[in-house]
Amino acid sequence: MKEYQKKLMSFFTVAMVMILAACSNTDAADTSSADNSSKDTLYVGVTNPMGNLSPINASSVSTRWAQRFYFDTLLEMTSPLEFEPKLADSFETPDNQNYTIKLNPDAVWTDGKSITADDVVFTLNLFANPEVETTGLYLTELEGVDSSGKLESGTEIPNLIAVDDTTVTFKTKTPLDPNYVKEMIGTNIFIQPKHVVESVPLDELAGSEVFNKPSVTSGPYKFVEYAQDSYLELEANETYYRGIPEIPNVFIRIMSGTNLATELQTGGATMNASGGIGEISISDIETMKNVDGLSVNVQPAWTNQFVYYNNEKFDQNIRLAMSHAVNRDTIVDNLLKGNAEVTNGPYTSASPYMDEDLEPIAYDPEKAKEYIAKSDYDMNDPIELMVPTGNKVREQSANLIEQDLEAVGFTVEQITYDFPTTLEKARLGDYDLYLGGISVPVDPDLASYFGSTGGSNYSQIENAEIDVLLEKGKWETDSTKRKEIYDDFQLMLQEQSPMLPLYSQNDIVIKNDSLNGGINEYWAGSLYNIQDWTLE
């Protein structure tokens, strides 16, 4: 365990990319009305369309990242397990079960009203309301909330109290690692303005302008306009409690990886979002390194790509057969030019919770055929492989995966959709095989992705043993015991094979030298001080 602790400490200085890396790339529409040479505007290139802009129900990483420009959370994790204040000046517990949040008294909404404890309590109750569709299992540890993150009864979370205008208290079911609570509740939930949102009927929230064209927000920038699949326009919030942003305007431009490389070279983009949502092709990396005025850095990532199997359609033998049939080394070596790692489970090597002793499932076509022989699955039944469009590496990997599966006797037909469509179909389980990805949080809890009630349980897993391990891991406060639990979880995932981990691609961070600021080694905390970024 000393070796694990050593790795945990060294990990804190290692880069992490938290991103659901399921990407779809579309060309940005004409934004010629903006002056790309202006030092008053930051142009950020992303390769994921954002789709749903709901601050409580968006699961796309590109959306949730963009929302951090205009909605604040209680805390920000600026490096792994290092938390800094945002709306919350403090987030404390004397016993790892009872928590007190003290809000920044200067924080105001863009309409001038103070951000209060009532807003925090309202937002958390909104997330827990069974009538409201949300993503993320952020509240499951609170009293009165079930494993799906929803209230077991009533409309208010027990022991969640607005003590006064700037003080909130709440209680967890059992003592927990405070870092888990800070990450789940402190950094993941965008606090909403009660005085605005409460006027909208619950069944109309998802499509309301309050969510999709928000005029009352709390972050360093204000929402101006969103052109679907084209750009998101923002302007500085002159009442921002942490300081007026130095850069007056931000355009987040959505485009293909090829166009992003061109725009970075010509100045049409100041920086790429990186983090799996703003990626250029592997073939363009060396070219970008030789462009004067650009800085290019390669960082390890926490994004992980998978072939998701629909567990309702395929039994364990067929899932294991497909896992042994796919040659992942070919994908990493040929398509990614070694700029990635083959992963053995949901965690990448950046995480101290990855079981280093667990070998990835071996490429073994003969073993695949043995598992096929154990199953009564009809091999004449065509299998649809659902692939999001735009990410060239993913599209090319789909071709290799199709070939490998057909080599052992499966019949595979690729189908393609844009990213929002594939994500929605994956959430509904409307697919056979799906190429997608996740970003692993610092805390190892992955119940949202692999628990039976998880909002992003794309494989439709319903496995009681996996659920038990995820629950044990969540409530265990001893770091050594938690590591052992999550080692067991990784082994069970490999044995059950609900999905096949493919690869974790290194993150490419590119910015114009005129920008003072930009993406940090710890990607998820990069926007913490965006109000201080400047353009020379």
Q: 346 Cβ partners below 8 Å, 6+ apart? A: 304, 438, 440, 446, 449, 450, 490, 493, 501
pLDDT, tens digit, 9 for 90 and up, residues 393-434:
889 999 999 999 999 999 999 999 998 899 899 989 999 999
pLDDT at 6: 39
Distance CA 316, CA 26 (A): 36
The structure tokens listed for 265 are: 């070279």
Distance CA 159, CA 142 (A): 9
pLDDT, tens digit, 9 for 90 and up, residues 110-146:
999 999 999 999 999 999 999 998 987 899 999 999 9
Please tell me what DSSP assigns to residue 335: I
Q: What is the mean pLDDT of residues 209-235?
A: 96
Burial of 370 (0-12, 13-18, 19+ CB in 10 A): middle
pLDDT at 162 over 70: yes
pLDDT at 436 over 50: yes
pLDDT, tens digit, 9 for 90 and up, residues 43-63:
999 998 887 899 999 878 899
Higher pLDDT, 472 or 11: 472
pLDDT at 16 over 60: no
Rg (CA), the chain: 23
Q: Which domains are assigned to the chain?
A: 41-70+219-300+507-535 (3.40.190.10), 73-197 (3.90.76.10), 303-505 (3.10.105.10)
pLDDT at 10: 40
Helix H or strand E segment including 222: strand 221-227
| Model pTM above 0.85 | no
pLDDT at 38: 67
- Amino acid 290 reads N
Q: What is the mean pLDDT of residues 183-193?
A: 96
Higher pLDDT, 15 or 387: 387
The structure tokens listed for 507 are: 């993150």
148, 137 Cβ separation under 8 angstroms: yes
**Lowest pLDDT segment from 232-246, 260-274, 288-302, 312-326:** 288-302
Q: Which of 250, 258, 255, 205 lies closest to 50 in space, CA to CA? A: 255
pLDDT at 389: 86
pLDDT at 490 over 90: yes
Taking the CA atoms of residue 210, residue 211, residue 214 and residue 219 in that order, the dihedral angle to the nearest 10 degrees is 130
- Amino acid 526 reads S
Average pLDDT along the chain: 90
Q: Which of 520, 523, 528, 459 lies closest to 303 in space, CA to CA? A: 523
Rounded percentage of the chain residues whose pLDDT exceeds 70: 93
Higher pLDDT, 11 or 304: 304
